Structure 1
Amino acid sequence: MAAIRRFSSQLIRDKSYVSSAHPKSHINLIANAVPQDESDSEKNYRKLFEENQLWNHNYWQDNNTRFLKEKAEFIEKQRLQQGDDSIAFSQEDLIPFYKEFLDKNYNKHIEYNREWYRRQFKLLIPAFQAYLASKKRSLKRFFPSSR
């Protein structure tokens, strides 16, 4: 999120931005536009969306960091067993590691998927409310009340 928040507050207010993939989580973070006349429902949706994005980012950052650390340990162990520090490993050579990593983290990934779906469903009603508030604001701009 910090990478996105480097934009000036005026830019963030006017447009949404998508960052390049984060180097550890590989997630493209999104900074949503914040209209000056943002409604409570739009703000609620935006905050929930940002929470979900941060949760997702943190999960994948931790998972990918653990994956790379364990992969490096596996390669080092294989090199020690074979007595050669210069051995290059192909994807096929790493199949036992991939299987072990996935098996060991199976329950974490299942729990992540369940939580991800729960969070997405939890966003549906706030997203619909924010959509209606946005359309209501657009209609007010298009049809200003005559006073």
Structure 2
Amino acid sequence: MRLLFRLFSGPRARQLVGPPHPISHIRPVLYDTASRMGNDQSHPYSLMEFSEGWEDHGNLQLRMEQERLYLFNHTFWLDSNTRFLQGKEEALQRWEANGDKSPESKEVVLSEFYSQWSIQEASRQAKYTKEWNKRNRLVIKLAMGHQIRLWKESLTKALLGQ
């Protein structure tokens, strides 16, 4: 039991999530690193920050891919939502210029806009989804590899009694 506790405990990285972007509606994520040094550290800087192990390379690659995926996602939705809001505003301006101010005519104008928007964006959305899935699978693969390396390290330390 003690071995399992040591194997699955230890420093954890935290992800800090901010409020959603007003247009993309994507919440920014700040990735924190788990400290491997104890609180008795007397050096003013983290010397582990510059560790040269291959494990750190894997963690760095994971972090970079996570940030690339976030940026890809944010950029797509920022562009898509900006164009959507602009198109919706133009549709509403045409409705106001039409003269028929009834709620029913507004619903018809918006319904036509939404339908046209969905058809217009279907191909772009499909390409985005395919690319997002590809990038997300890479992030999952890297995260699994990183976690396996951490478990191996913990198991080795636990078995050696460190």
Fold in common (TM above 0.5):
yes
Q: Which has the larger radius of gyration?
A: 2
Question: 1:42–1:129: 8 Å Cα contact kept in structure 2?
Answer: no
Which runs of 5 or more structure 2 residues have no equivalent in the other structure?
Answer: 1-11, 36-47, 49-54
Correspondent of 2:149 among 108, 133, 139:
133
Structure 2 residue aligned with 1:99:
115
Distance 1:59 1:130 in 2: 28
Correspondent of 1:77 among 94, 97, 101:
94
What root-mean-square deviation, in Å, do the aligned CA atoms of Structure 1 and Structure 2 show? Answer: 2.7
Question: 2:13–2:31: 8 Å Cα contact kept in structure 1?
Answer: no
The letter for the 2-side match of 1:99 is: S
Distance 1:50 1:139 in 2: 29
Range moving further from structure 2, 127-136 or 69-78: 127-136
Range moving further from structure 2, 51-60 or 27-36: 27-36
The SS at the match of 1:27 is coil
What percentage of residue pairs aligned between the two structures are identical? Answer: 27
Structure 1 residue aligned with 2:31:
32
Residue 54 in 1 paired to residue 71 in 2?
Answer: yes
Residue 120 in 1 paired to residue 136 in 2?
Answer: yes
The SS at the match of 1:31 is strand
**1:5-36 deviation digits (Å, cap 9, x = unpaired):** xxxxxxxx963201111111101121121235
Instruction: Give 1:134 deviation, angstroms.
Output: 2.7
Count of aligned pairs: 132
Distance 2:153 2:27 in 1: 29
Structure 2 residue aligned with 1:44:
61
Distance 1:46 1:56 in 2: 15
Structure 2 residue aligned with 1:18:
17
- Return the TM-score normalized by structure 2: 0.69
Distance 1:129 1:35 in 2: 16
Question: 2:92–2:106: 8 Å Cα contact kept in structure 1?
Answer: no
Which runs of 5 or more structure 1 residues have no equivalent in the other structure?
Answer: 1-12
